[in-house]
Every structure is written in structure tokens, then in C-alpha cells.
Amino acid sequence: MNSYRVTHLKQLESEAIYILRETAAQFEKPGLLFSGGKDSIVMAHLARKAFWPARLPFPLLHVDTGHNFPETIEFRDRYVKEINADLTVALVQDSIDQGKAIEEKGIHASRNKLQTVTLLDAIEDCGFDACLGGGRRDEEKARAKERFFSHRDDFGQWDPKNQRPELWNIFNGRKHHGEHFRIFPLSNWTEMDVWQYLKLEDIELPNLYFAHDREVVRRSGTLLAVSDVVQPQADETTETLQVRFRTIGDMTCTGAVESDADTIDKVIQEVATARQTERGTRSDDKRSETAMEDRKREGYF
């Protein structure tokens, strides 16, 4: 074998670093969306590698619904301090208080859709002309059509039928005043790639991703963690199970899976044999066949 072999992870890493550097170079004021979830942790890690030994040339932005797991927020604050980055937190609660977003009602209420309002406001307030996100094409069928450099009009909307073709590794970030870009350096990564990379690079994660005992309630086939915002209804009972989370979003819509995978190797084994996609635990995607596309068109992540 020749000595210039490049493993798939190294290729994906190089591609992502290239895109992070292009973003810094082509835009006036980029920001990196950071939620404390594994994909955004990988993004922050890659950004550190891209600009090392300098600090990140852009701040992190977290759109906080107020329904996050406390473990996520604790991890976020510690991690941001550790890597010496700037963090802006935009609160969905503020959008609700200002009357810009209206809280959903009923037991399936989620603040997921409301995030779009807060996100677009935050982008405007911070003056971002590009937002780096950890979205991957394998996550969801509408995302499979997403570009690395995804153009948004001055209302923040995505027009999937009119996207710029992307060839080789040449990215066109030119835009008119008021428009911005969403940029997805992890486009070509799969859930498995993310986990392998986390292992390869020995990156720390919130413990929610690993098996632990937790009080949960079964609702519409999804295991939700019991918390301030998820309380059992009269006809529901809670149980304590050994679970972990494959994705970390709002406590109101992120389902747990029963699992005994308490180490990264066990998680990789589990991902390898999983028969459900990772967003299979996300009730926000199940609202309709095109739920993700509809939200993306409006300006969602």
C-alpha cells in the first residue's frame, strides 16, 4: 500500500477544516451555532484545529429554549470556558416575552419551532452574515439536499429548488446585503462517523449520551425524561430505566433509548447495529412527512 493513504475520518476532518477556514475568510462576521450536543462539540473541536494556535476567529451562539437538559447547559458553560471561546446565549423565553413567539399548548407542546424566531433575531442582533451549524445530510431527507454553503434570503428562508451548485471544493459565499449563509461543514458525516471521530480524538461529551438510570414516561412510543417540563399525565406512569440519548435537544421532544452502552466503544457498537435512525427518537420530525423541510424553509437550523 502507498504511504499516502488517507482514512475516511481524516478526509472528513480535512474537508470540514477547509470549510471552516473558507467561512472565516469569505465572511465578515460568522458565528458558530453551539448547543452542547455531540455534533456541535465536534464542530467546535474542528474549529479549534482549523485555527490553532490562535483562538476561534468567531463567537459561539446558543439558542436556548429553556427546556434543555441541565447536564447540557453545565457542560456547555464548562466547555466554552475550557476552550476560551466567546459565547452568546439567545433565549427563546425572551422571544416569548416580547410577543414574537407564541408558546404551543397541550402535552405535545414543544419550543422547537419557536427557536427559528429567536435564531433569526439573534443572527440580526449579532450581525452574523454566516452561521456554522452541525447539520448532516444523513440526518433527514430534506437535509440530504442541503449545500455546504447554504444561501438564505433576507428573510432567512431557504429555497431548496434554487440552490447554487457546489463543485470540487470551490464555495461561493457571495451575497447581497441582508442575506446570509448557513454553513454545514459536517454535511458528509454520518452518525457513525461522528462517534468514530469522538473516539479517535478522545473528545469529552455530556454524560447524557451514555447509559444511566433515569425516570422516564412513555408517550406516543417515545421515552421522555421526567422533568419540570415533562410531567406524567393522569393516565401515564413513570418508570426508571437504563437509558441514553442518541441526540440531545429539548427535554420535551428528545426521546431516550433503552441501552446499556456506558462507554464510547459500546455506543459505537450500538450505533453499528441500530435499526432506527438517530432522529427516530425526535418527535419534532414526525409531525409530518416534510416537517424538517417546512421548518428549514422558514429559517430553522
Partner 1 sequence: MTEETDTQGYLDMDLLRFTTAGSVDDGKSTLIGRLLYDSKNLFEDQLEAVEESSRQRGDENVNLALLTDGLKAEREQGITIDVAYRYFATPKRKFIIADTPGHIQYTRNMVTGASTANLAIILVDARHGVIEQTCRHAFIADLLRIRHVVVAVNKMDLVDHSEEAFDKIVSQFKEFASRLDNIVDMTFIPISALNGDNVVDPSENMPWYEGTTLLYHLETVYIGSDQNHVEARFPVQWVIRPHSEKYHDFRGYGGRVAGGVFKPGDAITVQPSGFTSKIKSIESMDGPLEEAYAPLSTTITLEDEIDISRGDMIVKANNPPHKGQEIEAMICWFSDSKNLVGRSKFILRHTTKEVKAVVQEVRYKININTLHKVEDDLEFKLNDIGRIKLRTSGPLFYDSYKKNRVTGSFILIDEQSNETVAAGMIL
Scan residues 231-270 and list those touching partner 1 (CB under 8 A). Answer: 265, 268-269
Question: Which residues partner with 257 through β-bridges?
Answer: 244
Site string for partner 1, 123-162 (x = CB under 8 A): --------------xx-xxxxxx--------------xx-
Burial of 145 (0-12, 13-18, 19+ CB in 10 A): middle
CB of 19 or CB of 114, closer to partner 1: 19
Integer angstrom CA distances of residue 279 from 12, 25, 232, 245:
22, 33, 23, 11
Show contacts with partner 1 in window 193-232 (CB under 8 A): 193, 196, 199-200
Beta strand ranges found along the chain (DSSP E):
30-33, 60-64, 87-91, 130-132, 149-152, 180-183, 212-219, 222-225, 238-245, 256-258
What type of residue is 254? T
Residue span binding partner 1 (CB under 8 A) among the ranges 62-70, 95-103, 226-234, 271-279: 271-279
Residues in Cβ contact with 125 at an 8 Å cutoff, skipping those fewer than 6 apart: 90
Distance separating alpha carbons of residues 236 and 229, to the nearest angstrom: 15
Residue from the set 99, 168, 177, 234 that interacts with partner 1 by CB under 8 A: 168
Least distance CB 145 / partner 1 (angstroms) = 5
Judged by beta carbon, residue 122 or residue 198, the one nearer partner 1 is 198
Looking at the DSSP bridge assignments, the partners of residue 216 are: 225, 239
Of residues 2 through 31, those in contact with partner 1 by CB under 8 A are 2, 4-15, 17-18, 21-22, 24-25
Member of 29, 49, 81, 108 binding partner 1 (CB under 8 A): 49
When binding is defined by CB under 8 A, the residue of 105, 177, 228, 276 that contacts partner 1 is 276
- Residue 99 lies near partner 1 (rule: CB under 8 A): no
d(CA 224, CA 110): 13
Please identify, among the stretches 31-39, 53-61, 71-79, 249-257, the one whose residues bind partner 1 according to the rule CB under 8 A: 53-61
Phi, psi of 183 (to 5 degrees): -125, 130
In the complex, the smallest distance separating the C-beta of residue 120 from partner 1, rounded to whole angstroms, is 21
279-298 binders of partner 1 (CB under 8 A)? 280, 289-290, 293
**Least Cβ distance, residue 247 to partner 1 (angstroms):** 14
The C-alpha cell of 137 is what?
445530510
| Beta-carbon contacts of residue 74 (< 8 Å; ≥ 6 apart) | none
Binding test (CB under 8 A) with partner 1, winner from 77, 94, 166, 262? 166
Number of residues near partner 1 (by CB under 8 A) = 71
The least CB distance from residue 192 to partner 1, in Å, is: 7
- Segment interacting with partner 1, rule: CB under 8 A, options 33-41, 89-97, 169-177, 253-261: 169-177
The least distance separating partner 1 from the CB of residue 189, rounded to whole angstroms, comes to 8
Q: Positive or negative, the Cα torsion across 135, 138, 141, 146?
A: positive
* Nine cell digits for residue 64: 436556548
Is 52 among the residues that bind partner 1 (CB under 8 A)? yes
Give residue 276's Cα distance to chain centre: 19
Would you say 125 and 146 are in contact if contact means Cβ atoms under 8 Å apart? no
Least distance to partner 1 from the beta carbon of 68, Å? 25
CB of 111 to partner 1, least distance (A): 24
